[in-house]
Amino acid sequence: MASKQVTNDNPVYTTSNGAPVAHPYPVEKIGLHGPLLLQDFHHIDTIAHFDRERIPERVVHAKGAGAHGYFEVTHDITDLTSAALFKKVGNRARTTVRLSTVSGESGSADTARDPRGFAIKIRTEEGNIDWVFNNTPVFFIRDPGKFTHFIHILKRDPQTHLRDPDMFWDYLSQNPESIHQTVILFTDRGTPDGYHNVHGYSGHPLKFVRDDGEWVYVQVHLRADGGFKTLDNETAGRLLGENPDYGIQALFEAIEKKQYPSWTVYVQTMTPQQAENFRYNILDLTKVWPHKEYPLRPIGKLVLDENPQNYFAEIEQSAFSPSHTVPGIEPSTDPVLQARLFSYPDTHRHRLGVNYQQLPVNSPVVPVANFQRDGFATFVNQGARPNYQSTISPLTYREKPYANTEHKHEVWAGYARAHLYEVTELDFEQPRNLYRKVLSDLDRKHLVDNIAGHLGLVKSAEIKARQLSVFAAVDQGLSDAIAKAIGVPTVHPLKVASAASVVPLKTNIGQTTVTLA
């Protein structure tokens, strides 16, 4: 996947149009001390190109590291999906991965407390599959309308241009469904040891579909073969200053030393019938599927064995989208995922231009044939082929084999309505289980210290108390320990609706509807 603009061994210095130039420094002037000449294309072009070097950074996940490698199918899953990649055990596809923090700018520190993005581009014989995952199995929101609000509270205050703990906890305490991800974020998993020592999770259910139309919901898990390594808060904090690029360096050096990062890839599966009887709404991104009931089934492995030759061309310009998928792998109706299907290509057109899929790192390994033409930065314009649906030189059309199969589980009917999922007792079960049963005593101590270190910075007593009531709904002891650590009174748990108000998925609604005025 090396950059296609390769240099030869003994390159001659040239202008951008390829004409040789004697030396890069001298500029043309009148005499020795006169004004510069507009005719000096070499100089003008150099400055003009430099003036345009920066492209918009990603609005989220701006800081990251990436590498190339391969995805290999290790187990037969033809009973789950007919995707070409999975037709044969042993199939390998060249893959590019970008790992990232979420909220900081492109120059921010790698060890910040933040989820990590885990974006994977698998180049298959039927097109690219992008798996745009995080290193946590759940997320802060399950209503897409909250996304921009949530991201804004991670960014800078409009007036002070500072990041603001009051904004952060003001939002979280008003939107308690975020609690599961908040607890995970404030364990040491919120400060991973390097970009690549993390697991990856689809978070959303995807659909694996067979040619006969049968399908299952799947959650994809990538488990780091070297384990999920974390830093404690103090070490992560020290590294923020000492080596802000700690994670980029660790990934690059591991690959140079041939200590190739690798992951074993699994799926959890759930039939539509199981989904209808599941305790939670499976379209709710704040919930995990218990491993005991829905065990991990191995499907493949991911290995990163090649550093980019050119970071900008091969990683910065990479453009991942959950909507880049192939026959046999479909999105579910998880509303946050549905919003993402639109958002990513939209932002790519803004960040990289309308022809972003033609950039070498993004272009599929199979030929693209369609009626899109022209636009800025067109590299491949499909030659002389007609740019309309023509009988002179027709394209071959191949429908997805399951295109016309109907599935009762997904027959949608209803009035258009603005809808939010309601917070209920169910939302506290999984974080409570995590806090009480999964974390060790040391993990729990770090959790309290890590939260106290941040919540303690909040100026508003009201926000602190409101967030403590959310923690109390998880576990009163957790809330009281944080209150003690930040020196404020203890509070009662937040009151929420009972689990009985949750409407099962069968109704095609998900959970209770809150009608907006």
Site residues, ligand HEM (CB under 6 A): 58-61, 64, 98, 100, 117-119, 132-134, 139, 144, 147, 203, 318-320, 336, 339-340, 343-344, 347-348, 351
Nearest approach, Cβ of residue 496 and ligand HEM (Å) = 23
Which of 61, 196, 324, 348 does the annotation list as catalytic? 61
Residue 69, CA atoms < 13 Å, CB-side half-sphere: 22
> Phi, psi (5° rounding) for residue 489?
-65, 150
Rank residues 133 and 169 by Cβ distance to ligand HEM and give the closer one: 133
Rank residues 53 and 441 by Cβ distance to ligand HEM and give the closer one: 53
* Tokens (6 digits) for 516: 């907006």
Tokens 């309290």, located at residue = 448
* Tokens (6 digits) for 237: 């904090």
> Phi, psi (5° rounding) for residue 406?
-105, 145
Rank residues 352 and 496 by Cβ distance to ligand HEM and give the closer one: 352
**What is the residue-wise DSSP string for 263-282?**
EEEEEEEE-HHHHHH-SS-T
How far apart CA 187 and CA 55 sit, in angstroms, is 35
Pick the closest to residue 290 from 124, 498, 433 (CA basis).
433
Angle at 94 (CA atoms; ends 62, 323), nearest 5 degrees: 55
How far apart CA 198 and CA 239 sit, in angstroms, is 18
Rank residues 43 and 98 by Cβ distance to ligand HEM and give the closer one: 98
Rank residues 129 and 319 by Cβ distance to ligand HEM and give the closer one: 319
Rank residues 81 and 318 by Cβ distance to ligand HEM and give the closer one: 318
Nearest approach, Cβ of residue 128 and ligand HEM (Å) = 13
- Per DSSP (E only), the strands in 28-91 are 64-73
- Helix ranges (H only) for 314-440 are 335-351, 426-433
Burial class from Cβ neighbours inside 10 Å (0-12, 13-18, 19+) for residue 498 reads exposed
> Is residue 387 a contact partner of residue 371, using CB atoms and an 8 Å limit?
yes
For residue 271, CA distances in Å to 71, 291, 437, 454, 479 come to: 26, 15, 28, 41, 38
Nearest approach, Cβ of residue 284 and ligand HEM (Å) = 12
Nearest approach, Cβ of residue 115 and ligand HEM (Å) = 8
How far apart CA 501 and CA 489 sit, in angstroms, is 32
How far apart CA 160 and CA 406 sit, in angstroms, is 54
> Which residues, 6 or more positions from 171, have their beta carbon under 8 angstroms from its beta carbon?
149, 150, 153, 178
Nearest approach, Cβ of residue 362 and ligand HEM (Å) = 10
Which of 43, 128, 134, 196 does the annotation list as catalytic? 134
How far apart CA 420 and CA 509 sit, in angstroms, is 10
Residue 134 annotated in active site? yes
Nearest approach, Cβ of residue 222 and ligand HEM (Å) = 12
Ramachandran bin of 487, using left for φ above 0, alpha for ψ from -120 to 50, beta for the remaining angles: left
Residue 61 annotated in active site? yes
Rank residues 172 and 452 by Cβ distance to ligand HEM and give the closer one: 172
Nearest approach, Cβ of residue 101 and ligand HEM (Å) = 10
With CB atoms as reference, the residue minimizing the distance to ligand HEM is: 117
Rank residues 64 and 510 by Cβ distance to ligand HEM and give the closer one: 64
Nearest approach, Cβ of residue 307 and ligand HEM (Å) = 16
- Active-site residue set: 61, 134
